[in-house]
Structure 1
Amino acid sequence: MNNMKQLTRNAIPEREGWLRSKQTQKWIFLLFAITPAFGGYLLFTLYPNLMSAYYSLLNWNGISDPVFVGFQNYVTLFQDKYVWRALFHNLIYMFFVPAFVILISLLLAYILTNKNYKGTPFYKVIFFFPNVLSSVVVALLWAFIYDGSFGLLNSMLRLVGINIGEYYWLGEIKTALWAIIPPYVWAGVGFYVIIFMNAMVTIPKSLYESAILEGATPMTRLVKITIPLIMPIVRVGALFLVLGSLKGFEHVLILTNGGPAGSTDVIGLYMFNLAFGAEYHNYGYASAVGMFLFIVLVIAKLITDKYITSQTVEY
């Protein structure tokens, strides 16, 4: 009996010593720190994606019993001309939106950083203001701008002598697709101006001074010094913009809902209407379209990684 008590007393200090070790405390801390984020990822990202892959193999409207159809939804998808039309519109947005946002943001950030304007903090707030607004508010604002009867765009054109009457930019097939691009650009420029400015202020002034002594113009300094040194930041921004242009559909939903005659439809909106629209309730086929969009996003990411250099320039 005494021996058992002695063994118990010896085991308690050993256990306490194990808990007090730095290695054990480190793993306990990592467990409590990672579990909430990893659990959220499993619950709200990985699990829905896995279920979407499963639903894509079903013929299911969300109410009746699902019917397993295998890859029939994917066969239908590749024969669906509306999917390819929507993908074409996505590719247009993917090319023009990131290009305009990156170009305008770089120029504005470069000017504000190197000209040392007294009101630079105020300009930062002004440029960032669209990011404070929700996508719904931005879309409604631009819907007012494009309105044919009392829209701001037609009024400005009349002021400069161009009278096109009551032209509805979002109601015409020729202009609706291109009219969607400015809201995306306007909403995205301010954020990247702030990001690029914060990256530019880390560049030593001596590099610009040396370039000025050698006769480099402001544009040459931007292309030869500024952009190469912040290229990793530009690359990440371009990646986010490319993926966002492929996934996003909020502006299109509010401005045109894919019209007129499907001329502004995108994959995200087409998938949304398949699952929740008034005409269709086919969650299985919508999930197949979603998996197709996932593949497109992966391909876009790989292409961006290949053609936008990730090499860091040191000074």
Structure 2
Amino acid sequence: MSKSKSRQVFIGVCVAPALILLIVFMFMPTFEVFRMSLYSWGGFSNTQQFVGFDNFKLLWNDMTFIRSFQNSIFLIVVVAIVTFAFAVFFAAILTKENVKGGNFFRIIFYIPNILSIVVIAGIFSAVYDPSGGLLNSVLDIFSLENLQQMWLGDQKIVIYSLAAALVWQAIGYYMVMYMSSMAAIPPSFYEAASLEGASKIKQFTSITLPLVWNNIRTTLTFFIISTINLSFLLVKAMTGGGPDGSTEVFLSYMYDQAYGNSTFGYGMAIGVIVFLFSFLLASIVSRITKRDVLEY
């Protein structure tokens, strides 16, 4: 066997296990989700009735699904904007300013990201407790009793309470990613800008932000997918979709339909919509944020 042939065989042997796992645990389940979305099936019987696109037609008249769609969009947009604003701000402060105990703050900010989402749900459930929770207690100390709320019981504000938990969990992770990019920017760029009379804000918008933009663009795409997944876990652990369905999101409603109401085919139709929506939104964000890469 020639050297070139043996090299190809070696590469094939190394790649084959990963390729097999990818096909078995990614491609085949994804295909099965698409296939089952065309059937009416309870999930536990042997009877599967082909209904075509009827499951998808029902979705557009399902007000709970529409509400879960709106909640998911809200969390993706609002949590993304707030998270990235704080992450970039704190990354710039800890990287470019001589903050005493900078390493300590990095650790503190990153801790929420290593916690289980169930632990985070427990922490914020205690914070939002209307009777003895931290939030209402602090408001009481400052004589702001009129601002005290049923943070997880009021349909108008409960989605904002969940958004705050998601922001708290994510800031540290993205902050550390941006810090690594900012640390690689040559100090001479800022020195030259200072000599030209540029303010700190001008340096940030003209030097820091453009040079880390490619990193921000990549993390935005990742953030969309992770928010869809984490919002499901947080909703299940904190509110169960309540009160009165006001915190239902894509995946929580899909789970309820597929495994709670024994309408597996309908649940898979929701899964298909989530799958297509995720990739469509990620593509749109990637397209909108695309710009020439600045090199230094």
Aligned match for 2:252, one of 259, 264, 269: 269
Q: Given that residues 110 and 176 in structure 2 are in contact (C-alpha distance below 8 angstroms), is that contact kept between their aligned partners in structure 1? A: yes
Selected match of 1:127 from 98, 109, 113: 109
Query: Where do 1:43-192 residues align within 5 Å?
Result: 43-64=24-45, 65-164=47-146, 167-192=149-174
CA deviation map 1:144-178 (0-9, x unaligned): 10110111000111122201486320100111011
Q: Are 1:207 and 2:171 matched, yes or no?
A: no
Q: Percent identity?
A: 32
Q: Hey, what's the Cα distance between the residues in 2 that align with 1:30 and 1:118?
A: 50
Aligned to 1:256: 239
Structure 1 residue aligned with 2:270, among 285, 289, 292?
289
Q: CA deviation at 1:28?
A: 2.5
Please tell me whether the aligned partners of residues 146 and 169 of structure 1 are also in contact (alpha carbons under 8 angstroms). Answer: yes
Task: Give the whole-Å Cα distance in 1 for the aligned partners of 2:120 and 2:182.
Answer: 29
TM-score by length of 2: 0.95
Contact 2:139-2:148 at 8 Å conserved across structures: no
Q: Relative to structure 1, is the Cα distance of residues 52 and 105 closer, same or farther in structure 2, using a 3 angstrom cutoff?
A: same
* Aligned amino acid, residue 170 of structure 2: G
Give the whole-Å Cα distance in 1 for the aligned partners of 2:16 and 2:200.
50
**Do structure 1's residue 235 and structure 2's residue 217 form an aligned pair?**
yes
User: Between Structure 1 and Structure 2, how many residues are aligned?
Assistant: 294
Q: How does 1:19-34 map to 2 (within 5 A)?
A: 21=3, 23-34=4-15
Q: Deviations over 1:262-286 (max 9, x none)?
A: 1111111100111122xx0111110
Measure the CA separation in 2 of the matches of 1:216 and 1:165: 42
* Alpha-carbon shift at residue 287 of structure 1 (Å): 0.3
Provide, for residues 237-275 of structure 1, a one-character-per-residue CA deviation record: whole Å limited to 9, x for no partner.
111112222343111111111111111111111001111
* Alpha-carbon displacement from aligned partner over 1:95-147 (angstroms, at most 9, x marks no partner): 11111111101111101111133422222211110111111101111111011
88 and 165 in structure 1: CA distance in 2 versus 1, 3 angstrom threshold: closer
Q: Which has the larger radius of gyration?
A: 1
Query: Which residue of the partner structure matches residue 203 of structure 2?
Result: 221
AA aligned to 1:292 is: I
Aligned position for 2:226 = 244
| Unmatched 5+ stretches in structure 2 | none
For residue 173 of structure 1, give the secondary structure of its aligned residue in structure 2: coil
How far apart, in 2, do the equivalents of 1:49 and 1:98 lie? 27
Structure 2 contact 128–136 (Cα < 8 Å) conserved: yes
